[in-house]
């Protein structure tokens, strides 16, 4: 059974993430693209050295939200469409959620959207320092991508900060300098500017398979700002253990797209197997028994 009928109010949920950062060295966050995926995440436990570990929250990815709707990852989805999906996740779960805010759009739109995101119960929004048509960061310089000037992005940070109503709601700046091969010094300059502008946290992104530049950034940033929350997304440097990331100073590690990437090949294999065999017998070993499906989300107990 996955379902829980008790959940925090949206106003209470907003504060959960910031409270976790205060009380825990490093948080594990993973992408959730549906209520079912969120329920799976929330139910999981693992034990290491007699210490129970679990996921600390959800990541709402614009990439996976777009892909599930058959749309390209170009900041096309309306904010209300994405918040509707998040609302359904919150109906069934208790963990906090961080939202991928892409570029934040036009500053005037951001000022309107931040209160909507906060009112929906989201704990933090991450906004990347790019302008123009949004393209996925892992494409790097294979496509045209342009960073905002530090001055312009600091203005956007200030607009987002003024728009929020709850001090516990976090606006996190995502720095794309390493993605665009501009180097660690540029990334650090921007990180310092954004932090001094009042951002609630910094995310550094990289598309390299080696974590060296991310580790160097973290160490140098930590010397300048020991307490500002630092976020990473180890999609490309996937051989790095969570404990290593925590050890160099990261407060939040986001596994940003792994559940959709796991679901797609499983669905494709099942559909292809039925097509090739003219029946479903051959793929039954891949499937959850129907009785187990029915027991995942039981109705409320009477009385």
Same domain, 172 and 297: no
Same domain, 284 and 248: no
Q: How many structural domains comprise the chain? A: 2
232 within some domain: yes
Same domain, 144 and 268: no
Same domain, 134 and 273: no
4 within some domain: no
Which conformational region is residue 125 in: left (phi greater than 0), alpha (psi within -120 to 50 degrees), or beta? beta
Same domain, 249 and 278: no
275 within some domain: yes
Q: Do residues 190 and 221 lie in contact, with contact meaning Cβ atoms separated by under 8 Å? A: no
147 within some domain: yes
Output the domain CATH number for residue 98.
Answer: 3.20.20.60
Question: What does the pLDDT read at residue 142?
Answer: 72
**Coil vs helix vs strand at 192:** helix
Which conformational region is residue 198 in: left (phi greater than 0), alpha (psi within -120 to 50 degrees), or beta? left
Tens of pLDDT along 166-189?
A: 999 999 999 999 999 999 999 999
Question: What does the pLDDT read at residue 298?
Answer: 73
Domain that holds residue 284: 260-303
Same domain, 122 and 162: yes
Same domain, 54 and 71: yes
Q: Can you list the residues of the chain whose pLDDT is less than 70?
A: 1-5, 138-140, 300-303
Question: What does the pLDDT read at residue 203?
Answer: 99
Question: What does the pLDDT read at residue 51?
Answer: 87
Question: What does the pLDDT read at residue 303?
Answer: 53
Same domain, 168 and 270: no
Catalytic residues: 73
Question: What does the pLDDT read at residue 271?
Answer: 99
**Could you give the CA distance from residue 198 to residue 170 in angstroms, rounded to a whole number?**
11
Same domain, 266 and 232: no
DSSP 60: E
Same domain, 234 and 124: yes
Question: What does the pLDDT read at residue 143?
Answer: 73
Helix, strand, coil percentages for the chain (3-state, nearest 5):
45, 15, 40
Question: What does the pLDDT read at residue 134?
Answer: 76
Same domain, 58 and 32: yes
Question: What does the pLDDT read at residue 302?
Answer: 59
Structure tokens at 132: 């123009």
| Alpha carbon 239 to its chain's center | 19
Same domain, 179 and 277: no
């Amino acid at each position: 059974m996955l379902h829980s009928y008790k959940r925090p109010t949206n106003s209470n949920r907003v504060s959960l993430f910031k409270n976790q950062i205060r009380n825990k060295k490093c948080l594990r966050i993973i992408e959730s693209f549906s209520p079912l995926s969120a329920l799976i995440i929330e139910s999981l436990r693992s034990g290491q050295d007699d210490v129970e570990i679990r996921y600390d929250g959800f990541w709402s990815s614009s990439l996976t939200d777009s892909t599930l709707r058959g749309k390209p990852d170009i900041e096309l989805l309306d904010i209300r469409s994405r918040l509707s999906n998040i609302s359904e996740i919150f109906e069934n779960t208790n963990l906090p959620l961080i939202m991928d805010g892409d570029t934040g759009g036009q500053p005037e739109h951001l000022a309107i959207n931040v209160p909507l995101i906060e009112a929906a119960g989201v704990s933090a929004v991450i906004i990347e320092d790019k302008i123009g048509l949004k393209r996925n960061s892992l494409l790097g310089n294979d496509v045209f991508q342009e960073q905002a000037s530090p001055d312009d992005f600091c203005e956007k940070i200030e607009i987002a900060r003024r728009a929020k109503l709850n001090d516990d709601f976090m606006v996190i700046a995502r720095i794309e300098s390493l993605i665009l091969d501009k180097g660690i010094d540029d990334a650090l300059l921007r990180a310092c500017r954004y932090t001094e502008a009042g951002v609630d946290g910094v995310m550094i992104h990289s598309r390299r398979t080696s974590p060296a530049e991310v580790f160097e950034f973290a160490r140098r940033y930590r010397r300048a700002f020991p307490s500002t929350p630092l976020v990473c997304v180890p999609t490309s440097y996937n051989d790095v253990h969570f404990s290593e990331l925590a050890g160099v100073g990261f407060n939040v590690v986001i596994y940003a797209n792994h559940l959709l990437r796991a679901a797609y090949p499983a669905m494709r294999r099942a559909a292809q197997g039925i097509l090739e065999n003219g029946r479903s017998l051959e793929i039954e070993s891949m499937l959850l028994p129907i009785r187990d499906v029915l027991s995942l989300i039981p109705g409320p107990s009477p009385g």
